[in-house]
Structure 1
Amino acid sequence: MRRQHATVHQLLGQGMALRAIARELGLSRTTVRRLAHAATPDELLVGQWTGRTSILDPYKPYLHQRWAEGRTNAAHLFGELQQHGYRGGVTIVREYVSPYSCECTTKYGDMCTTQATSVSRSMAWSRFLSR
């Protein structure tokens, strides 16, 4: 998204029209228009779902606890949540924990001493633990 935003603004700076940019990048005109009207890429991340509650919200503290205890398999966590009354789908659980998944977590939920697979994953892990 950030790269597309930068590219659209670069092409606009060269005097290219929105329709031509859409053709050039293989994007819809609506997408190009949204990218063009946003001053920063972060403006695009605010949408209708921002701030809304989720069916998963009451179970997030439990997920955090189990993750810290080393239970990092989304399917297993989903099964445990169902036993606690969760009525949502496995996909919601999987998508919630996926940013925090990392091959470099120990069975205790700590980062390994080996280098993290990426800075973003390591940052996501620290955000997860600080919740």
Structure 2
Amino acid sequence: MVKNGEFFVIKEMRLKGMSITQIAEEMGRDRKTIRKWLLKDTPESFPTRKPRPSKLDPFKDFIRTRMAEGCQNARIIFEEIKARGYTGKDTILRDFMKPLRPHFRS
């Protein structure tokens, strides 16, 4: 797949009079790929992925509540949500909690 930046470089090379073979050699691509991209008017847009739900999603409100109550220990909260049916790992929890923790300056 040709990246968008490469698309514009290919078009510019062609405008400068380079042949498809020369462009292919310069870019390290196959001639058929270069020809295909020269026939296009705009670069292809890449499909965006739909965000997948996290295993932590059903427990985020509970975690925020516990943190507001003063519990900043991820291990304790992990054990509490695990008892409530959480099946993920503690790393996801720690990553979620990190920006929610208060920042202390020394």
- TM-score of the aligned structures, taking structure 1 as reference length: 0.40
- TM-score of the aligned structures, taking structure 2 as reference length: 0.49
